[in-house]
């Protein structure tokens, strides 16, 4: 499901909003194909959420013409308008629910993958939900590790693929730019761009291997704020 709303320029502001609800289910790819399945003879048990799937995504974009300077509502004339005027502020706001990940055993149990290089660890038995309520999730305990246990020797676990939801995502990329008319021939454009402008911590998925001292803990984040400036001359 996708929907999009967009407003035309009003008082110098143009905005757009898009919302996506999705549910992507797979049993192949992303380490879920026949070559890396828990049981290559039963791909039905590989059916689950795609690791890249996010249930809800909201993206807001905007461009705002600051109302100062030549041709705008205020300070359209005079030296002050040349200094503070004709700036534009733009931004893209992204808000998304988390991606999905799979609980794993610390070692192979089924004995079905001898000499298999690169095969993912097997899945354990699931004896509870595993997903904690949102208000109980912390970076030290993102999911309930007690909901999983290693299955008996020479068997496969019953936990599905990508049944645990990871941390959500919030990001703002912002930009400030201005066009300068230096002469009839020479023009300049200045840009200041900020990625993750609020320096918001977007956490990676936690350790999903059970029976470990770090099970359920988050130890990494996605990139912090970065900034860049550019000046372009055209003639």
Q: What is the pLDDT of residue 38?
A: 80
The reported pTM is: 0.82
What is the distance between the alpha carbons of residues 40 and 27, in angstroms, rounded to a whole number?
Answer: 11
pLDDT tens track, the chain, 235 positions = 889 998 887 888 899 999 999 999 988 655 544 456 787 788 888 899 998 899 999 999 999 988 877 777 676 676 776 777 788 999 999 999 999 999 999 988 888 775 555 566 789 999 999 999 999 999 999 999 999 999 999 999 999 999 999 999 999 999 999 888 778 888 888 999 999 999 999 999 999 999 999 999 999 999 999 999 999 998 8
The owner of tokens 């001359």 is 233
Alpha helices, DSSP H, located in the chain: 79-84
Classify residue 136 by its DSSP letter: G
The owner of tokens 């005027």 is 85
What residues contact 19, with CB distance under 8 A and at least 6 apart?
Answer: 2, 3, 4, 56, 57, 58
What is the distance between the alpha carbons of residues 154 and 12, in angstroms, rounded to a whole number?
Answer: 67
Residue 179 near residue 187 (C-beta atoms within 8 A): yes
What is the distance between the alpha carbons of residues 211 and 204, in angstroms, rounded to a whole number?
Answer: 20
Q: What is the pLDDT of residue 29?
A: 54
Maximum Cα–Cα distance for the chain, whole Å? Answer: 83
Residue 93 near residue 166 (C-beta atoms within 8 A): no
Token pair of 141 as six digits = 């305990």
Helix (H) or strand (E) holding 228: strand 226-234
Q: What is the pLDDT of residue 34?
A: 44
């Amino acid at each position: 499901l996708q929907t999009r709303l967009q407003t035309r320029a009003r008082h110098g502001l143009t905005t757009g909003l898009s919302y996506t609800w999705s549910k992507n289910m797979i049993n192949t790819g992303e380490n879920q194909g026949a070559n890396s399945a828990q049981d290559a003879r039963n791909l039905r048990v590989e059916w689950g959420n795609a690791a890249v799937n996010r249930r809800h995504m909201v993206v807001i974009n905007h461009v705002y013409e600051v109302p100062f300077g030549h041709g705008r509502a205020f300070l359209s004339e005079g030296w002050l308008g040349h200094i503070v005027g004709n700036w534009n502020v733009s931004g893209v706001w992204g808000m998304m629910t988390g991606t999905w990940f799979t609980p794993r055993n610390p070692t192979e149990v089924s004995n079905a993958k001898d000499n298999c290089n690169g095969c993912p660890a097997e899945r354990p038995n699931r004896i509870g939900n595993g997903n904690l309520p949102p208000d109980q999730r912390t970076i030290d305990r993102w999911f309930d590790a007690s909901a999983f246990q290693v299955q008996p020797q020479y068997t496969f676990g019953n936990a599905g693929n990508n049944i645990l939801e990871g941390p959500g995502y919030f990001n703002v990329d912002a930009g400030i730019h201005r066009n300068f008319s230096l002469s009839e021939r020479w023009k300049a454009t200045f840009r200041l761009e900020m990625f993750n402008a609020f320096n918001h911590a977007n956490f990676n998925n936690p350790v999903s291997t059970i029976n470990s001292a770090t099970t359920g803990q988050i130890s990494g984040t996605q990139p912090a704020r970065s900034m860049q400036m550019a000046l372009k001359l055209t003639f």
